[in-house]
Amino acid sequence: MTNNTAMTPEQEYDFYARAENQQPQGPARRRRQQLSDPVPVRLPLDVLDRARRAAEDDDRSLSAWIRRAVEHELRDSA
């Protein structure tokens, strides 16, 4: 299943549940840049729910999805 075919979340869980599939591959990767201090942001519940669903659909954390959305907005508005 590691030949670039998409796996369902259940297949991923089963694959990585096996110890032989939990070994790091290649050199460690580091973030390109340090992140700043956390920035508290309040969103209306409906917007937060939509953002959570979008992040889940993209297989990202909510924070990573929001960072990407902000970067996209800044890039497009420049």
| pLDDT of 1 higher than 70 | no
Residue 54's pLDDT is 96
| pLDDT of 75 higher than 70 | yes
Q: What angle do CA 31, 35, 38 make, to 5 degrees?
A: 145
Buried b (16+ CB within 10 A) or exposed e, 20-47: eeeeeeeeeeeeeeeeeeeeeeeeeeee
Within 8 A by CB and 6+ apart from 51, the residues are 43, 62, 65, 66, 69
Residue 24's pLDDT is 82
39-78 belongs to CATH 2.60.40: no
The pLDDT tens digits of the residues spanning 13-59 come to 999 899 998 888 888 877 777 888 999 999 999 999 999 999 999 98
Residue 4's pLDDT is 67
Domain ranges of the chain: 39-78
Residue 3's pLDDT is 63
